[in-house]
Amino acid sequence: MKGLKYYIKDSVKNHYAIGAYNFVNMEMLKGICEGAKIAKSPTIVAVSEGAFKYMDENFLLGLYKGALKSYSGIPLFLHLDHGKSFEMCKKAVDLKFNSVMIDGSSLSFEENVLLTKKVVEYAHAHGVLVEAELGVLKGVEDNVSALTNVYTDPLKAKEFVERTNCDTLAVAIGTSHGAYKFSGEAKLRFDILSEIEKNLPSFPLVLHGASSVPQKYVEKINKFGGNVKGAKGVDERLLAKACREHNVYKINSDTDLRMAYISTLREHLKENPDNIDLRKFNSLAIEEIKQLVAEKNRCFNNIDRI
């Protein structure tokens, strides 16, 4: 089976992006794998620091190893999402993750360079790839919180990559974490992305906060007792453009999977108040995530890539 390094190159060369999907339990992971199987897509399964603590390393590795066995034809890569410290990244490297993200985006440029470099040296010595981040995404997630976007500076991006030797770079061009990304028109700064690419030709870039927040989930959650009014994500046409016309090789989605899961549960529980069998609604959630991931992979031009 080809490794992550191969697929990173292949995706930039052939203008598709690999979906990086966060999971926190077996149902999410299974839905992701099922979706990857339909679309025949190399896929990254991502664990945030919060998810790492929630599952604990034994459960998460057990789930991942199980997925590798049950979906042996699918290249599935395990990735640490938003590692905030050297120690956290080291732990993931020692556990043989395929790649780790060191997120020093909230630090000063110099501090980010130093921290990233340290992680790169350790990870590369153990054959693990490193994603770094430059620029700040608006929004809140575990350990990461910001009120406004600070777009990636294209000149600084070149200096950052040269000094740290990171393998891939997450850039801030207007996406943000969570379900409320835009109050007005959804816009991404493709001009900044093009400038970054001029300075870093063929360098693999990453988009975080790229959920599209399908309105069918927003409506379902609101209809069945939830409240996510006004939730809005990144237009899928913008994501399709980012992978087909730019060097975006990895697109992160967590919120969409959460919404697929929760909307299914809410509907089922409301309509079946007597059900106490978890498998009934969890099976529906797996199916919903499967369809979502397959659709996303099509949007990312990641079909029949194995």
Which sequence positions are flagged as catalytic?
A: 81
Q: Which of ligand 13P, Zn ion, ligand G3H, none has residue 210 at its interface (CB below 5 to 8 Å by kind)?
A: ligand 13P
Tell me: does residue 142 bind ligand G3H (CB under 6 A): yes
Q: How far is the CB of 123 from ligand G3H (least distance, A)?
A: 20
**Largest distance between two CA atoms of the chain:** 60
| Of the candidate residues 34, 81, 103, 153, the single one contacting ligand G3H (CB under 6 A) | 81
Tell me: does residue 81 bind ligand 13P (CB under 6 A): yes
The residue sitting closest to ligand G3H, measured at its beta carbon, is 142
Q: Name every residue whose Cβ is closer than 8 Å to that of residue 149 and which is 6 or more positions away in sequence.
A: 135, 136, 137, 138, 172, 174, 176
Tell me: does residue 167 bind ligand G3H (CB under 6 A): no
Nearer to Zn ion, 208 or 305 (CB): 208
Nearer to ligand G3H, 98 or 176 (CB): 176
Tell me: does residue 22 bind ligand 13P (CB under 6 A): yes
Binding mask 205-244 for ligand 13P (x = CB under 6 A): ---xxxx---------------------------------
Q: How far is the CB of 217 from Zn ion (least distance, A)?
A: 19
Counting residues that bind ligand 13P (by CB under 6 A) gives 14
Nearer to ligand 13P, 39 or 137 (CB): 137
DSSP string for residues in the chain: ---HHHHHHHHHHTT--EEEEE-SSHHHHHHHHHHHHHHT--EEEEEEHHHHHHH-HHHHHHHHHHHHHHTTTS-EEEEEEEE-SHHHHHHHHHTT-SEEEE--TTS-HHHHHHHHHHHHHHHHHTT-EEEEEESB-BEEETTEEESS-B---HHHHHHHHHHH--SEEEE-SS-BSSSB--SSS----HHHHHHHHHHSTT--EEE-S-----HHHHHHHHHTT---TT-B---HHHHHHHHHHS-EEEEEESHHHHHHHHHHHHHHHHH-TT---HHHHHHHHHHHHHHHHHHHHHHTT-SS--
Q: How far is the CB of 181 from ligand 13P (least distance, A)?
A: 7
Angle separating helix axes 236-245 and 278-299, nearest 10 degrees: 50
* Interacting span for ligand G3H (CB under 6 A) from 48-56, 226-234, 261-269, 271-279: 48-56
Q: Which of ligand G3H, ligand 13P, Zn ion, none has residue 142 at its interface (CB below 5 to 8 Å by kind)?
A: ligand G3H
Tell me: does residue 82 bind ligand G3H (CB under 6 A): yes
Tell me: does residue 208 bind Zn ion (CB under 5 A): yes
Q: Which of ligand G3H, Zn ion, ligand 13P, none has residue 66 at its interface (CB below 5 to 8 Å by kind)?
A: none
Q: How far is the CB of 136 from ligand 13P (least distance, A)?
A: 13
| Of the candidate residues 43, 105, 149, 255, the single one contacting ligand 13P (CB under 6 A) | 255
- What is the rounded radius of gyration, in angstroms, for the C-alpha atoms of the chain? 18
Six-digit token pair at 234? Answer: 């990144």
Sign of the CA dihedral running 30, 58, 90, 109: positive
Which residues make up the interface to ligand 13P (CB under 6 A)?
Answer: 22, 81-82, 177-178, 208-211, 252-256
Which residues make up the interface to ligand G3H (CB under 6 A)?
Answer: 22, 48, 50-51, 81-82, 141-142, 177, 254
